[in-house]
Structure 1
Amino acid sequence: MEELHCIGCGSVLQSHDPKKPGFIPSSALAKSDEDIICRRCFRLKHYNEILPIEVTQDDFYEIISNIGETDSLVVMIIDIFDIEGSLIPQINKLTNHNDCVVLVNKRDLLPKSVSERKLLHHLRKILADSNLRPLEIFIMSAKRYHNIDTVMEAISNISGNRDIYVVGATNVGKSTFINTLLKSYAASSNDIITVSEHMGTTLNVIKIPFDHNYIIDTPGIYNDHQIGNYLSPESLKIITPKKEIKPRSFQLNPQQTLFINGFARIDFVEGPWTSFICYFAPMIKIHRTKLSNADDLYKNRRFDVLKYPLQEESFALIPHQLQIPTGKHDLILPGLGFITIIGPAKIIAHVHQKTMPYIREALI
């Protein structure tokens, strides 16, 4: 019997194990049609509820490494709001050095005044530092259709008659991008691939005929240092921006602290009075206090004042000492956002134990 696949996540449909990908009750499977979806995708689509399933990180890497056995165009999507956190530096090796185009998604999250020329300059440097040298780099917004026509024309010309594999870390917008293409160029009025804010929605490859070849959606690769991998769905909603980020500016003296909800803490230890311009999702609350009060506040008021992520019992903040050079630089809190600081400044960034803060030239 021919295998049937869930049109939403790509899993092989099966009725024997509810904990495995692709589960669907046998009664529903008997009524199947070409648009059938598994129980997990059904619950996700209609109730925004994600059911736990057993998929390992090795499963994802094995799927991606199969691209290396083909002659294809690899389209890697990264998140403009979490550039370094959503990179896959090993993508060239995993795909056996197939041609690669990089799409930088979610342009709509940054202020409209930001120069795309300046963004591209920074992006080329960041990619080069990770030994990534794509044929082309494009800035786009799959959700808002920004630059989609240019992107589609470019990847169509570059791919020729080759298949196009869309790859990326979890939650960068791969499935949203493919749905946008289908709506724009294939007269599709509805989302075909399941899209959600939850990490790891796509579980297997989803192969869609397009022109004379296929566009193939792949599962998102888990980067261990993405904070979203360690948060509950409720906390993930808080940290995930859905519209243009409005900068929030704080003028700080040394010996002051900023709490980013309970997700992170930034101590301004030494330096002249300066600006901390924060770029985080609107639902994230920023609380300023004296450094001398910070420990007590975190210990005794984190659940009410700081809105500590309640369901993350193992959530712990680890301090990292950093020196902001003279001039304008960004302090990156992977998966959360960034703070533009005018240095020099000595800071201590307290972040989730699996993530690592770092400094880059100011993006904005």
Structure 2
Amino acid sequence: MNEQQLSQTARSCAGCGVQLQSERSDLAGFLPESALLRDPVICQRCFRIRNYNEASSVAVDQDDFLRLLSSIGSTDSLVVHIVDLYDFEGSLISGLQRFVGNNPVLLVVNKIDLLPKAMNVNRLRNWVQKQAKAEGLRTVDIVLCSAKRNMGFEHVIDALERYRGDRDVYVVGATNVGKSTLINRLIRDYSDMERELTTSRYPGTTLDAVHIPLEDGKAIIDTPGIVYTTRMTEVVPRSFLGSLLPDKPIKPLVYQLNSGQSLFIGSLVRFDFVEGDRQSFTLYISNALNVHRTKLERADALYEDHRGELLGGPTREELEEIPAWTRHSLRVPRGSNKDLFISGLGWIQVNGTNGAMLDLYAPKGVKVMLRDSMI
């Protein structure tokens, strides 16, 4: 949308007040230029909510998002924090508790459909509770669900009824956690959308949230998703996201490795088993990614000659736009059960208990860590 067009019509959305733009459909305020003559002029996100009971995800940078979180602390609300089980540490909002004050936090863990069906749900809930506590997050409850597959959503509704009381509900989360899918379900099952959209503009920021009215006069406040650049999903070309993000249950890949062997995961990550007894490693990653095993002594030459081709992943030209690798040297203690977590990609479960020395090469800035095994 050019300046002349904007001067002839509204510069802000009549539904949520956000500044309008037509360059980026994934950012707040987007509307196609063909919708410029619509009366009233509203962004695509508000149009979908108003006409189709459907919200789309938008994103903001961390500074704007933290200012919004700070404003929640002065309200009396239920905070629903949606995280992606597949990228748990990468999608958990660090320090959320100090921003939302004494407001109760309901942790909704989405995408459980991606894990093997034999997964013990109670064990998984205990793991989530432990990880959340380690991050300083106090929760009134934890709900596991898959908004996309309609698994466990009734438990989300039950939890909202149990903990909301006479409060508004703020829904917060990172991008790509399935927040918009869950919001869409809430709109259909929990809201009276015959009422007009209202605008929420917070002091000190240009960020706008959308109020979705409830029958008792309160609202679900849909906040834009925060972008964490520490996730692989923010590093790879957008055209490659379909291969990186699984959309059906993962089939774990098990590799028996001797020390001195390496695995390449789609030209994006290199995993070296540097030292330790022969043991197995289980990869929980998208099954659309190529995995290639080689000897450690050949790994450098193999990557140089075949990245983006034999090794799979983004093309050689696209890889040039991705930050150079950083090496993470990690020691797995004896007698421990650990995952090597790569944010936005998945994780590698270390199945031996005799300890191991590992090197993991990933694009600079991508979060890599050892954690207690999820499975």
Same fold, TM-score > 0.5, yes or no: yes
How far does the alpha carbon of each residue in 1:281-339 deviate from its partner, in whole angstroms, 9 at most, with x for none? Answer: 12111111111110001111102112243324242111111112334321111110011
* Matched residue SS, 2:64: helix
- Of 204, 210, 213, 1:206 maps to 210
How far does the alpha carbon of each residue in 1:195-217 deviate from its partner, in whole angstroms, 9 at most, with x for none? Answer: xxxxxxxx741211123221111
Aligned to 2:371: 360
Aligned residue identity for 2:340: L
Deviation, structure 1 residue 159: 0.9
Q: Is the counterpart of residue 176 in structure 1 residue 176 in structure 2?
A: no
2:231–2:367: 8 Å Cα contact kept in structure 1?
A: no
1:323 and 1:120, CA in 2 relative to 1: closer, same or farther beyond 3 A?
same
* Matched residue SS, 2:337: strand
Q: Is the counterpart of residue 233 in structure 1 residue 223 in structure 2?
A: no
Q: Is the counterpart of residue 322 in structure 1 residue 333 in structure 2?
A: no
Aligned residue identity for 1:96: G
Task: Give the TM-score normalised by the residue count of structure 1.
Answer: 0.84
CA distance in 2, matches of 1:158, 1:38: 28
Deviation, structure 1 residue 233: 0.6
1:23–1:39: 8 Å Cα contact kept in structure 2?
A: no
Pairing 1:278-289 to 2, within 5 Å after superposition: 278-289=283-294
Q: Is the counterpart of residue 14 in structure 1 residue 20 in structure 2?
A: yes
* Bigger Cα displacement from structure 2, 177-186 vs 167-176: 177-186
CA distance in 2, matches of 1:260, 1:40: 40
Aligned residue identity for 1:321: S
Q: Is the counterpart of residue 347 in structure 1 residue 347 in structure 2?
A: no
Q: Is the counterpart of residue 150 in structure 1 residue 164 in structure 2?
A: no
- Of 75, 78, 103, 1:73 maps to 78
Deviation, structure 1 residue 97: 3.3
1:155 and 1:186, CA in 2 relative to 1: closer, same or farther beyond 3 A?
closer
2:65–2:226: 8 Å Cα contact kept in structure 1?
A: yes
1:253 and 1:207, CA in 2 relative to 1: closer, same or farther beyond 3 A?
same
Task: Give the TM-score normalised by the residue count of structure 2.
Answer: 0.81
- Of 332, 337, 344, 2:346 maps to 337
Gap runs ≥5 in structure 2? 1-8, 198-206
Aligned residue identity for 2:215: D
1:257–1:294: 8 Å Cα contact kept in structure 2?
A: yes
1:172 and 1:209, CA in 2 relative to 1: closer, same or farther beyond 3 A?
same
Aligned residue identity for 1:14: L
Aligned residue identity for 1:12: V
* Matched residue SS, 1:114: coil
Pairing 1:182-221 to 2, within 5 Å after superposition: 182-186=187-191, 204-212=208-216, 213-221=218-226
1:2 and 1:235, CA in 2 relative to 1: closer, same or farther beyond 3 A?
closer
Deviation, structure 1 residue 122: 1.0
1:6–1:13: 8 Å Cα contact kept in structure 2?
A: no
Aligned residue identity for 1:362: S
Pairing 1:64-103 to 2, within 5 Å after superposition: 64-103=69-108
* Matched residue SS, 1:31: coil
Runs (4+) of structure 1 exceeding 6 A deviation are: 1-4, 38-41
1:248–1:278: 8 Å Cα contact kept in structure 2?
A: yes
RMSD: 3.1
How far does the alpha carbon of each residue in 1:105-162 deviate from its partner, in whole angstroms, 9 at most, with x for none? Answer: 1010101110111111111111111111111111111111111112112112211121
1:144 and 1:342, CA in 2 relative to 1: closer, same or farther beyond 3 A?
same
Aligned residue identity for 1:205: A
How far does the alpha carbon of each residue in 1:13-48 deviate from its partner, in whole angstroms, 9 at most, with x for none? Answer: 537x8578425477734323598627999xxx9xxx
CA distance in 1, matches of 2:156, 2:30: 35
Aligned to 2:202: none
1:11 and 1:268, CA in 2 relative to 1: closer, same or farther beyond 3 A?
farther
Q: Is the counterpart of residue 30 in structure 1 residue 37 in structure 2?
A: yes
Gap runs ≥5 in structure 1? 193-202
* Matched residue SS, 1:128: helix
* Bigger Cα displacement from structure 2, 296-305 vs 307-316: 307-316
CA distance in 1, matches of 2:304, 2:33: 51
Deviation, structure 1 residue 226: 1.5
Pairing 1:51-62 to 2, within 5 Å after superposition: 56-62=61-67
CA distance in 2, matches of 1:358, 1:179: 33
CA distance in 1, matches of 2:299, 2:148: 39
Deviation, structure 1 residue 183: 2.9
CA distance in 1, matches of 2:264, 2:123: 30
CA distance in 2, matches of 1:34, 1:186: 24
1:39 and 1:288, CA in 2 relative to 1: closer, same or farther beyond 3 A?
farther
Give the percent of matched residue pairs that are identical in Structure 1 and Structure 2: 37
Q: Is the counterpart of residue 135 in structure 1 residue 127 in structure 2?
A: no
CA distance in 2, matches of 1:330, 1:290: 22
